[in-house]
Amino acid sequence: MPFGAELTQAGVRFSLWAPSARRMELMLTMDGAEQALPMEALPAGWFHIVTADAQAGSLYRFRIDGDPSICRSCIALQSADARARRRSGPVRL
């Protein structure tokens, strides 16, 4: 299964492998505000969501088990793309 963000006919598909996580949320920035979208747990530790609210260039990150402090240092990477090396623009912690 591909991970990160992928444009599809139905919107953007977000997939993340986190086998130790109990719950995962996509934190999607829309109109300057961050919205939490619950992700579906799939077998083998994968989490998945397809949303029409996202588009190419949307800012996002993942929240693991409802804890915003987990992987705070990763926010810069996850905001642009989970596979990105860096993100342009400000990083808000």
Query: Are 76 and 87 contacting, i.e. CB atoms less than 8 angstroms apart?
Result: yes
In the predicted model, is pLDDT for residue 86 greater than 60? no
The verdict on domain 4-80 having CATH code 2.30.30.30 is no
At residue 79, the pLDDT reads 46
At residue 42, the pLDDT reads 96
**What's the pTM value of the predicted model, to 2 decimals?**
0.72
Domain edges within the chain: 4-80
Query: What is the bridge-based pairing of β-strands 33-38 and 4-8?
Result: unpaired
